[in-house]
Structure 1
């Protein structure tokens, strides 16, 4: 029977009853082929007659897709074999296929039901796979498996298995007795959860995890062992990777028991989502300073992180995205950074980090002013009594300006943002603005305000205009003065322009070049004729006054004329000196005469004395009056009467000796003891002369023996009897009070001081 006819019969059979039967014996099998989508399992299954086979095309499959397969064989055992596109040809050709089918997904002499999860072996290219339901004695089965016998039915369910988001392994394995297989190698972050289950198909074994250095030994990672898993349909274990195994190579191992083991296993990860923040600024920074934040150390070995989003100021708004970002802040304070990690599954985890932001920058103080005039160097000139408004509003800071204060010449004046200044006195004032920010940083600046007056100084040129002519080359001194209502003379500045033909300062004015500065100018002129110069005075406010002066420069006198002048001057000096000397001597002679006459000499005696001294003494040319009078060395002036009196006194002393009692003033008894008066020397000399000329009374003989001393003459004088004393009374001519005086008998008159008022009174017998 040909193949088309067989196919028709098979289709009819499927429509009437799901039965597959063989039409011929031991030739190459002719199997019915169906797509998986054509097989609609009924509750009774698909029948396969003895000696027949059915091939199900399950499509192109690769290792990336694990298939969940359910087989159920009813009524009689048969072989269920999995072939790829190459192996199926061997089967269809009746050849030995023992090495051509996939043993993990194949079952010989199967009866009953079985499920397993199987992934096609890895290959360069995806392959087409086929499931053969064989109920025959195939020539290539080497007598193994089912050899047919009676009709058998099957049911098949095949679909992609459920896939975990982070799978490790999902497949079916066969191990020989005692065999150990490394099912999968992995290294993941600590905190990652590893889950795995095992479904035994036949036989038994163990499932566990080992590190690389445990391979080949009996040591395993604690809490990872599923031991002797044959007892249950599925055994599952969940294990979290500890920190000491972070990113270490680990191995999921399977070990068969005493018999071969056939099993399906599935392992997958639940990765940790724990973003971490590395701050290279050591958690501190300053305003405006960039900080690098790094999240690359966040666990992500399974690429579980879908996105990293940064919120720098906790306002629930993302400010940056990515592993490595930069951040800065415009205000100081403790800043909280939130890093949100989102996984591929949509779950999120937030990590937080705090950074202290400091304000270390000083604010910048800026003064803007209205009023006055700004000069080139930035200072301002302000007319006295005028207002200038100063503002701090243009000051700035990297954060904010918290306060402003103003001081004038170091003295605090205002704490407002705006400050108005005005002065009545001219001068230079320094206004300082100090601003501070909320962190206490401060900044200062100042402005110099020159307060000036508008009153111009007035030159006082009298000392200059008085000089109208000067000799060529001769130094001359000019003095400039000025009057100013506000400025002192010391503060005024005088400049002298000595060449009015040049403009040396280049201001277009030839009369104000400062060739010399100062109130006094000492200079000379070289050009004969009219010379012009200018003087300018400036006050502290810059007001000025100037004036141009003219002076006539003449030639100096010649040498001949100079000699003549010198000769005339010398002659005049000689004449004047002679006149002066003659006049000087005459004056000094008159003074000497007056001094001698005041000393008691008569004019004739004084003239004779001066003449005698001039002949007997060498006097200097300009001798003084005292030298001419002979009293410069302490000499005394004595008249002829005084000389006679001295001679008489010497005579008395030679007679009476030097007894002090005899030299006592004879008038002493007539004066009060408490009064000392100066008596006119002329009267004293007259009284002395009268006393000396008084005739002596002859001594009266006494009955007593006479005795006495022998004086120089060798004559013994008898004792002299004391004369009787007379008392005179009178009234003072000044005060009118009466008083009396005892006068010796040999005194006829005396001058006595009044004991009451002290005025001199003359008493006469």
Structure 2
């Protein structure tokens, strides 16, 4: 790059609603400075000019969507604040220790969109994006060299992460290589794994593998060792795949692989670097399950029964402890909360127990367990007599008794020699009874 003596003259005019940017090259790179709050925006970049966008101080793990359009080749560069001076001072910046490599696109031309998640290996950091139309001593002759005027538009939006999003960012994969986007993923049977892919460079394949399959592949095995029905092959534009996890893969370590090796048939060749946005979300199964230690359909009145919802599928943490509620009296109003319930029904009844589960994304599903509550336990009765009772003929005997039942006593009968001598059919809430009798001498 030739250096020009003298002062720098920059002109900014309005042309077709676009800023017109010009800068002469010098030992220190001067870019037109833009703040992310002004986005979306568009510019006309003259030869040997650039735009520096201050993205602000970004929190780790925040995810952003970028959309860009260019009518000629440019370089899209991303730097943390502590590395920006390397670029501005015309030093060699094409190094993964300097720029944010996965979100850098050299010789980009056309329309593109990608997601980028702020790295969590550092605290809150200021970031800068450079739209570069320069030839630099520090670019090693790589990338766009600023030979043509370029029309560029850019937008940036923060993505509000939805529940069950387990990965959402761009991944860079070298040629003849692969990268694990996410894993291990452990889910319930019936869960849907959704994979959305959009490429900025290259045409990778996306697989789902078990841990055993991944290890075989890492050690030189072929892509035949994968879950074929979950494939996304030759990602050349926006692509989407949903895979329903069968019982055979429940509670198994699963991995989403971005593959840039040659094959399988119909897949990418792996001859160029791949940079692809991968978004992985789950649709967890919501299936409430009621279980008991002693499963049966008939229970005794007043019997304390322990119910559990812990067999409900929850490997994606789709239900919190507060997401379980129980309705014991069939009025559709929750009576108890939590995954465990101890309860007794006080009366014989054709009862039902309803379990509601509320997932973390607001989905509610219910199940009902039918129960028969019966009075199966006989009453308890005891005669209050100490020792042997001795009386003569025609002498009155007075005897008292206590009685109880888990539900209620309908009647009391006093029998002598198997013959009913006294009967009380309406006893109300009484818990005792007395009996008077004498033996006839005849």
Using the size of structure 2 for normalisation, the TM-score is 0.80
Answer yes or no: is the 8 Å Cα contact 2:400–2:435 preserved in 1: no
How far apart are residue 97 of structure 1 and its match? 0.8
Aligned-pair CA distance for 1:292: 1.7
1:19 is aligned to 20
User: Pairwise mapping of residues 522-533 of structure 1 onto structure 2 (< 5 A)?
Assistant: none
Matches within 5 A, 1:263-342: 263-283=276-296, 285-306=299-320, 307-333=323-349, 335-342=351-358
Greater mean alpha carbon deviation, residues 94-103 or residues 145-154: 145-154
Q: Secondary structure at the match of 2:75?
A: strand
Q: 1:296 to 1:398 in 2, by over 3 A?
A: same
Q: Does 1 or 2 have the higher relative contact order (CA < 8 Å, sep 6+)?
A: 2
| More displaced 10-residue stretch of structure 1: 285-294 or 48-57 | 285-294
For the Cα contact (< 8 Å) 1:71–1:157, is it kept in 2? yes
Which runs of structure 2 are paired with 1:437-586 in the superposition (5 Å)? 447-449=435-437
| Closer/same/farther in 2, CA of residues 120 and 40 from structure 1, 3 Å limit | closer
What's 2:232 paired with? Answer: 226
Q: Deviations over 1:558-599 (max 9, x none)?
A: xxxxxxxxxxxxxxxxxxxxxxxxxxxxxxxxxxxxxxxxxx
Q: Alpha carbons of 1:39 and 1:204: their partners in 2 closer, same or farther (altered >3 Å)?
A: closer
How many angstroms apart in 1 are the aligned matches of 2:408 and 2:8? Answer: 96
Unaligned runs of 5+ in 1: 368-375, 419-434, 437-442, 452-486, 488-765
Alignment match, 1:198: 197
Counterpart selection for 1:155 from 153, 156, 181: 153
1:398 equivalenced with 2:406 (yes/no): yes
**What displacement does 1:165 show?**
1.5
Q: How far apart, in 2, do the equivalents of 1:181 and 1:315 lie?
A: 53
Q: CA deviation at 1:333?
A: 4.8
Provide the rounded CA distance (Å) in 2 between the counterparts of 1:60 and 1:54: 18
1:47, 1:154 within 8 Å by CA — same for their partners in 2? yes
Q: Number of residue pairs matched? A: 404
Query: Match of 1:86?
Result: 82
| C-alpha contact 2:40 2:154 (8 A) present in aligned 1 | no
TM-score of the two chains, using structure 1 as the length reference:
0.48
Given the superposition, is the C-alpha separation of residues 16 and 265 from structure 1 closer, same or farther in structure 2, using an over 3 Å criterion? closer
The 1:109–1:282 alpha-carbon spacing in structure 2 relative to 1, beyond 3 Å, is: closer
Q: Which has the larger radius of gyration?
A: 1
Give the C-alpha shift of residue 360 in structure 1.
Answer: 3.9
Partner of residue 678, structure 1: none
Say if 1:188 and 1:63 are closer, same or farther in 2 by CA, change over 3 A.
Answer: farther
Residue 208 of structure 2: aligned partner: 209
Counterpart secondary structure, 2:406: coil
Give the drift of 1:70: 0.7
Shift of 1:91: 0.9
CA distance in 1, matches of 2:367, 2:253: 28
**Which has more helix, going by share of residues?**
1
Maintained 8 Å contact 1:366/1:445:
no
Distance 1:21 1:103, change over 3 A: same
Equivalent residue, structure 1, for 2:360: 344
SS state of the match for residue 59, structure 1?
strand
Distance 1:36 1:444 in 2: 86
Distance 1:201 1:277 in 2: 48
User: Secondary structure at the residue paired with 2:153?
Assistant: strand
Asked if the contact 1:286/1:360 (under 8 Å) is kept, the reply is yes
CA distance in 2, matches of 1:131, 1:258: 28
Asked if 1 retains the 8 angstrom alpha-carbon contact of 2:305 and 2:342, the reply is yes
CA contact (8 A) 1:13 1:20 kept: no
Cα pair 2:182 2:255 within 8 Å, conserved: yes
User: What is the rounded CA distance, in whole Å, between the counterparts of 1:184 and 1:28 in structure 2?
Assistant: 41
Higher strand share: 2
In 1, the alpha carbon distance for the partners of 2:64 and 2:278 equals: 12
Whole-angstrom CA distance in 1 between matches of 2:306 and 2:376: 20
| CA RMSD of superposed structures (Å) | 3.7
**Contact 1:26–1:138, Cα closer than 8 Å, also in 2:** no
1:81-120 aligned at under 5 Å gives the runs 81-99=77-95, 100-120=98-118
